[in-house]
Amino acid sequence: MEPIHHIIIDTDPGIDDAVAIAAALFHDQIDVKLITTVAGNVSCDKTTNNALKLLEFFHSDVPVAQGAIKPLLRTLEDSSHIHGNSGLDGYDFPHPKKETLGIHAIEAMRETILSSKEPITLVPIGPLTNIALLLSVYPECKQNIKRIVFMGGSASRGNHSPAAEFNVFVDPEAAKIVLQSGLDITMCGLDVTSLATLTKENVEALKEMNRTGEMLYGLFQHYRGGSLATGLHMHDLCAIAYLVKPELFVTKECFVDVEVNGRYTAGATIVDLKSYYQQQANAKVCLEIRVEEFRQWFMEIFTNPSIL
Ligand SMILES: [Ca+2]
């Protein structure tokens, strides 16, 4: 099958990022053109190294470009308590021989977007720093960006502060720039991603399947995004699932903005489901997910005999 989604993944691996990257690489409807890295779960040096390790593990020739080393205005607050000190604790990857492109992520994105015959979908699964920079420095790229499907935000509560989801919390100003870009935007936030868990049975089934399953199993033993007893959160994988299985999600188009000033609420996404503000809708927000079918989809991808 010809791929129908030509994407750039902007990422901060991160254990759930590793799962999302693997799913995208293995999926025959997805053509991953470029992977760019950003500071988030851990420092950008580490997220870049992790992206290189993963791609080498998958024998992938998808290029990697390193991006922003810190949020636009703020100091990085990482989440190594969830993903481990390296960001990918739990599997002993060899030191990668693969190297980055040697140009900044926004330069690499610009070249990829402007030279692509097909419009590009951006799939940010970390803080939105690189995407905000790209749209600010090279707005001409917008003409060949089909849409943005990002993991982040929440229509309800947060997971890094009472009000804010981690990716938006880390760089609220960047998220605001992206949401105000006028592009076609889908938000996969905590309303669906905190429900999108893998069960202990799913994880056990992976273990014996193939070397990817063995690798992910190792990472999952160290992942603190949920637990094996209550389910492991596959936040970032939801953005990939939305691309190829949008029927698993209930969405609503509405006005979304980001609180950047609040003492307690900085990084909160204001999702105006009831149009209190009478503002034009600027994003499609995922509100419900069919979790059982999400798990089935996950298992079909990762237990496919053709994968590594
Ligand atoms: Ca991530």
Residue 225's pLDDT band (boundaries 50, 70, 90)?
confident
Q: Is pTM, for the whole model, over 0.85?
A: yes
- Encode pLDDT of 186-198 as tens digits: 999 999 999 999 9
Residue 228's pLDDT band (boundaries 50, 70, 90)?
confident
Lowest-confidence segment of 56-70, 84-98, 150-164, 180-194 by average pLDDT: 84-98
83 is catalytic: no
Ligand 1 centroid distance, CA of 278 (Å): 32
Residue 226's pLDDT band (boundaries 50, 70, 90)?
confident
**Amino acid letter at 211?**
R
In 125-171, alpha helices (H): 129-137, 166-170
Ligand 1 centroid distance, CA of 237 (Å): 9
Q: One of 5, 104, 233, 235 is an active-site residue; which one?
A: 235
Ligand 1 centroid distance, CA of 17 (Å): 5
Cis check for the bond before 14: say yes or no (omega within 30 of 0): yes
Ligand 1 centroid distance, CA of 276 (Å): 31
- Asked if residue 6 lies in contact with residue 119, where contact means CB atoms within 8 angstroms, the answer is yes
User: Please, what are the domains in the chain?
Assistant: 5-303 (3.90.245.10)
Is it the case that residue 240 has pLDDT exceeding 90? yes
Helices and strands: H and E segment counts in the chain: 12, 12
Query: Whole-angstrom Cα distance, residue 298 to residue 308?
Result: 15
245: nearest Cα among 287, 293, 292: 293
Alpha carbons within 13 A on the beta-carbon side of 291: 16
